[in-house]
Structure 1
Amino acid sequence: MKHIQRLRKMIRLAYHLEWLDKDPFRRWKTTFEKTDREFLSENELANVANYEFAIERLERVRDLFLFSCYTGISYTDLINLTSKNIWQGDDSKKWIVTNRQKTNTRVKVPLMPPALDLIKKYEDHPLTEVSGTLFPPITNERANLYLKEIAEACGLTKNLTFHMARHTFATTVTLSNGMPIETVSKLLGHTKIATTQIYARVLDKKVEEDMSKLQEVLNSKKENLKKGNNNWKIIR
């Protein structure tokens, strides 16, 4: 549908330029099927992070996946990160600053302790010393292939892919812990909130927590109202 949508723009332009007598898409409407984007839950993410792999290549790909889960940075951008992309902010904390290859949007992400630990882990790795990157380079195809082995080792039934890391960052790591979707959108390098809404979903756990907070506020207002009425009776 996205391919047809782009083709339709060119056809419409040709029609307006009178290169075509008719617009073949005039009465045709684009329809998209809504699909659920998978992500790892908090327990699944912890399981992957704590699993000890006997095979070094699986551990390396797992660490790349985890870094993406902690930062929201896509595989294409992550694999090209160098020490030049690490900046120190005004708060003396380290940030990853880079441009998204897909949209050329500037992305600035504060580095949480787990992400910093992963960077330090590969500082002296032979492959990173040769490539000059923060992490050992690997192709996207091979990384996704190894993720299948990682999922099987960790007992995950989900189709583990590298892109799932961004969904996990948006949903499990940030939004479910109370981060506003506007901030999540900026961290992911999106230009529209609507794009972030595809990635991020509100979990049932978050709904329950927010409803509990709402109930506490309502109960507090109710108690204050009762106290106010009692005081009014005494004064009267």
Structure 2
Amino acid sequence: MKITIRTRTLKTGSRSIYLDFYEKGKRWSEYLNLFLVPDDAPDARRLNEAAMAKANEIKSKRMLGIDEDETEADNGNSKQLPKRIFVDWLDSHIEGIRRNPSYSPATYRNYRSCVNIIKEYLKYHRRPRFLMSKIDKKFIVGLLDFMKNTYKNTKSPDNPKDMSLHTLHLHQSTLVRMLNAAVKEGVMDKNPFYALGRHERIAKQQSEREYLTKEELLALIEAPTTNETTKRAFLFCCFTGLRYSDVSALTWRNIKQINDGLVVSIQSMQKTGKQVTIPLNQSALNWLPDRNGCKPGEKVFDMTCLSACDRCLKKMAVAAGIEKNVSFHTSRHSMATLSLAAGGDLYTVGKLLGHTSINSTQVYADVVMGTKIEAVNRISKYFQIK
């Protein structure tokens, strides 16, 4: 095995030190939590020599096959804690989540994905039997760095990509919840994540919610399509707020007649597990296909996979002259913003969308407020005295 020292320049001007491992055509890195300060920094030479000396010391241990944790003195806590192998506890924990009916399938998938990344991190550092008592701030910082700079999303094996900042923050949140659970179970004495400074954590990104205006929606209705079912399902969701996961599983049993007309009634939404009932207005009914004698258990829309739907919608958007990044989830955002712009209140719109918190709906209200301000300013400019 070949081991080399590498540095990476940070925004602050300092350089982070890594060890790069090469073996049998594979390469992986270890984050050392050591830094070289800029040459013009006070006492830079002494600090940098000490950091490089420590890096070379760790390199020598790795070449001898010594895990640094094995040579360090026990902090005293690990003797009082049960010796649990991290990956074994993780497998047990997410199995409990899978069996717990209060967690949705989507939540379980998020946990499972996070656990798989942690296993990759341990495998890259050849520590598959890592003990939970050894998890400290250095371990967490190294894991987050691995997620940001080394790990590749393998959903598309032919084109692996870095994870988005939104996904990174989601996995960080999942990691924190799992470590909190470990503390409650008594297999860890504290969660070391809380020792990280703000700059060491993955910041939450303000997600951009693309939505269609009334004019853009009308243009999309007139646009040609390569898949009529996708178009119908998307436009149906623009007037109901359903997610792809819910509309793709929608059966005729979910379409019910009540005194005030037809409604979509879903006992458990795919993402949240919450029940939702959505009245169908005429615009939604226009895109509901004919039942043609279908049985209650048959699907309303015979849909393709989400990625195929998104490709179809992007072509429709181009044909309609829409420059926004349109995906299937754009229909849900469009329903929310158009409903609020038409005078709907936050509470009602939130209930239609199946939100568990009014804060989730408030984001759309902020978007609508920006549109209203622009409109008011245009009126003011129109009546400006020259």
The corresponding residue for 1:160 is 326
The corresponding residue for 2:174 is 6
In our comparison, the structure showing a higher alpha carbon Rg is 2
- 2:239 partner letter: Y
**Alignment deviations for residues 123-167 of structure 1 (CA, whole Å, 9 cap, x no partner):** 349xx78x8211222211211111121111111111110011100
The corresponding residue for 2:300 is 134
The corresponding residue for 1:195 is 360
Aligned residue for 2:272, secondary structure, equals coil
| Paired residues for 1:67-106 under 5 Å | 67-91=236-260, 93-98=261-266, 99-106=268-275
**Alignment deviations for residues 88-146 of structure 1 (CA, whole Å, 9 cap, x no partner):** 2232x111111311111111111011211211x44349xx78x8211222211211111
Aligned residue for 1:100, secondary structure, equals coil
**Alignment deviations for residues 3-43 of structure 1 (CA, whole Å, 9 cap, x no partner):** 11121122233335442355321223553122321111111
1:40 corresponds to 2:212: yes
1:144 corresponds to 2:310: yes
Aligned residue for 1:95, secondary structure, equals strand
Contact 1:48 1:62 in 2 (8 A): no
**Alignment deviations for residues 160-197 of structure 1 (CA, whole Å, 9 cap, x no partner):** 1001110000002x000000010010000111111222
Contact 1:166 1:199 in 2 (8 A): no
RMSD of aligned alpha carbons: 2.5
- RCO higher in 1 or 2 (8 Å CA, sep ≥ 6)? 1
Q: TM-score, normalised by structure 2?
A: 0.48
| Paired residues for 1:43-62 under 5 Å | 43-51=215-223, 53=224, 55=225, 57-62=226-231
- 1:12 partner letter: N
Q: TM-score, normalised by structure 1?
A: 0.76
Cα distance 1:35–1:137, how it changes in 2: closer, same or farther (>3 A)? closer
CA distance in 1, matches of 2:204, 2:263: 37
**Structure 1 outlier segments of 4+, above 2 Å:** 12-23, 26-31, 57-60, 121-125, 197-201, 203-211
Contact 1:122 1:136 in 2 (8 A): no
Gaps of 5+ in 1: 212-236
Aligned residue for 1:71, secondary structure, equals coil
Kindly state the Cα deviation for residue 80 of structure 1 after the two structures are TM-superposed. 1.6
Contact 1:86 1:94 in 2 (8 A): yes
- 2:328 partner letter: F
Cα distance 1:106–1:205, how it changes in 2: closer, same or farther (>3 A)? same
Kindly state the Cα deviation for residue 47 of structure 1 after the two structures are TM-superposed. 0.6
The corresponding residue for 2:344 is 179
Kindly state the Cα deviation for residue 77 of structure 1 after the two structures are TM-superposed. 0.6
Instruction: Determine which structure has the larger strand proportion and give its number.
Output: 2
Kindly state the Cα deviation for residue 45 of structure 1 after the two structures are TM-superposed. 0.7
Identity of aligned residues (%): 34
Contact 1:41 1:168 in 2 (8 A): yes
Cα distance 1:151–1:208, how it changes in 2: closer, same or farther (>3 A)? closer
Gaps of 5+ in 2: 1-168, 378-386
Contact 1:58 1:150 in 2 (8 A): no
Contact 2:256 2:262 in 1 (8 A): yes
CA distance in 2, matches of 1:204, 1:17: 47
Instruction: Determine which structure has the larger helix proportion and give its number.
Output: 1
Contact 2:275 2:354 in 1 (8 A): yes
